[in-house]
Chains A and B, each alone.
Chain A
Amino acid sequence: DAGITQSPRHKVTETGTPVTLRCHQTENHRYMYWYRQDPGHGLRLIHYSYGVKDTDKGEVSDGYSVSRSKTEDFLLTLESATSSQTSVYFCAIRGGGGPLSRPPPNTGELFFGEGSRLTVL
């Protein structure tokens, strides 16, 4: 196991409500990513982080914000959920990048969580 936990695993909410998904890692990896998976679109990058308080936008960042106040947690927030945000959300981690990484050195691949299925009614 890569030591990644996503919560909640399943959530049903109503349009207009705020939603926060949490990704927690125990691997001390520097890089963390949020993707959404939709039929016909594969995985699309929402936001990613390259350190505490260091984040950047991905391909489909509109309507989403993220925060990373400590190494182990990367939060994805939908400020006002819409039906188009119904999806399965995956968090991933990647090692490397200096003192935050544990040996062995970063080999580049991502380790994924089990996903969070969000339904917006």
Chain B
Amino acid sequence: AQSVAQPEDQVNVAEGNPLTVKCTYSVSGNPYLFWYVQYPNRGLQFLLKYITGDNLVKGSYGFEAEFNKSQTSFHLKKPSALVSDSALYFCAVRDWKGYSSASKIIFGSGTRLSIRP
């Protein structure tokens, strides 16, 4: 069965500093990994994804994530944090069976990112 772990409930970073939000996963096949962001009282918005290829993927709002197969991790990063990055971040995994297959997409418990001015 698939699973996703986000070990930190909250991450606090000063504006301008680099940030990292951690995610580890478990799947039986090839992983298909995502990061989503949720602002207060809103639905989730897609940030970036990894399917295959380059281990460093770039996404919206200056975020990037690094896929590490040996450590089964997919950490979200940003070189310089903004106050507006403060939100709830979710990592998700799908067991890759092809674009057209039906499959579950499982989310982690979320990490609240707080950027102080």
Residues of A whose CB lies within 8 Å of any CB of B are 31, 33, 35, 40-45, 48, 50, 54, 56, 58-59, 90, 92, 94, 96-98, 105-115
Name which of B6, B42, B44, B94 has the most chain A CB atoms within 10 A of its CB: B44
19 A–B contacts, CB within 8 A, in A order: A31-B102, A40-B109, A41-B109, A42-B6, A42-B107, A42-B108, A58-B104, A59-B104, A90-B44, A94-B105, A97-B101, A108-B34, A108-B94, A108-B99, A109-B49, A110-B46, A112-B43, A115-B41, A115-B43
Whether, in the assembled complex, B106 has its beta carbon less than 8 Å from a beta carbon of chain A, the answer is: yes
Residues of B whose CB lies within 8 Å of any CB of A are 6, 32, 34, 36, 41-46, 49, 51, 90, 92, 94, 99-102, 104-110
Task: Please count the residue pairs between chain A and chain B whose beta carbons lie under 8 angstroms apart in the complex.
Answer: 71
Q: Which residue of A lies closest to B96 (CB)?
A: A108
Rounded to whole Å, the gap between the CB of B58 and the closest CB of chain A is 15
Which single member of B42, B51, B102 contacts A50 (CB below 8 Å)? B102
Interface pair B109/A97, CB less than 8 Å apart: no
Rounded to whole Å, the gap between the CB of B39 and the closest CB of chain A is 11
Which single member of A43, A48, A56, A97 contacts B44 (CB below 8 Å)? A43
Interface pair B107/A44, CB less than 8 Å apart: yes
Interface pair B110/A96, CB less than 8 Å apart: no
Q: Which residue of B lies closest to A101 (CB)?
A: B100
Q: Which residue of B lies closest to A41 (CB)?
A: B109
A110 cross-chain contacts in B, Cβ below 8 A: 34, 36, 44, 46, 92, 105
Rounded to whole Å, the gap between the CB of A43 and the closest CB of chain B is 4
Question: With A and B bound together, what is the CA distance between A33 and B106 in angstroms?
Answer: 11
Question: With A and B bound together, what is the CA distance between A48 and B90 in angstroms?
Answer: 19
Question: With A and B bound together, what is the CA distance between A110 and B36 in angstroms?
Answer: 9
Question: With A and B bound together, what is the CA distance between A92 and B44 in angstroms?
Answer: 9
A113 cross-chain contacts in B, Cβ below 8 A: 43
A35 cross-chain contacts in B, Cβ below 8 A: 107
Question: With A and B bound together, what is the CA distance between A35 and B102 in angstroms?
Answer: 16
Q: Which residue of A lies closest to B33 (CB)?
A: A108
